[in-house]
Amino acid sequence: MTPFLAKARKQITILRNICADRKGKPLGLAKSNYNPKTVTVLQLVLECLQRGEQAVVVSARTGQTDEYYFRLAAAIGEPKLARIDSTVLPSEHAAEADRFKRGEARVLFMGIRCARGYSLVCPSYCT
């Protein structure tokens, strides 16, 4: 790999991280992670909820998940949300998944690493 290619890949990774969690970066780029992606994700989740469905949101950064979680908690209430990521103790992950599977939680937020370990039944139109 050439030094130029290595530098370009590093810059792409840095930019991807900044875009995913602008608020969490020490550069002081933003006071919030609210952006057009946030709006779209929230609209899709609300559409699912209006149809009586549940929704799973998988994020690569906890800053993204925090933004979605707190905005939906304000809109629909925190008891209807479940979360499985690094902000929740591993001993509580199974309980959160069970709440979602029983329908007590309407939305499940997952970290991308945690999502690999779970199997959730999806309606045929999702596949």
Question: What type of residue sits at position 12?
Answer: I
Domain range for 116: 36-122
> Residue 98 domain-assigned?
yes
Is the predicted pLDDT of residue 21 greater than 80, yes or no? no
- Number of CB atoms found within 10 A of residue 122's CB: 10
Instruction: Say whether 63 sits in a helix, a strand or coil.
Output: helix
Region 28-47: what's the mean pLDDT? 83
Count the domains in the chain. Answer: 1
Is the predicted pLDDT of residue 57 greater than 90, yes or no? yes
More confident residue, 99 or 37: 99
Across the chain, mean pLDDT equals 82
* Angstrom distance (rounded) from CA 17 to CA 11: 10
Instruction: Say whether 115 sits in a helix, a strand or coil.
Output: helix
- Number of CB atoms found within 10 A of residue 96's CB: 21
pTM: 0.75
Q: Do 29 and 21 contact (CB within 8 A), yes or no?
A: no
**pLDDT computed for residue 74 by the predictor:** 93
* Angstrom distance (rounded) from CA 61 to CA 69: 12
How far lies 16's CA from each of 21, 28, 58, 98, 110, in Å?
A: 9, 16, 16, 33, 19
* Percentage of the residues of the chain whose pLDDT score is greater than 90: 43
Region 94-117: what's the mean pLDDT? 88
Q: Which residues of 52-77 are buried (b: 16+ CB within 10 A; e: fewer)?
A: eebbbbbbebbbbbbbbbebbeeeee
**pLDDT computed for residue 127 by the predictor:** 41
Question: CATH number, domain at 54?
Answer: 3.40.50.300
> Residue 95 domain-assigned?
yes
Is the predicted pLDDT of residue 38 greater than 70, yes or no? yes
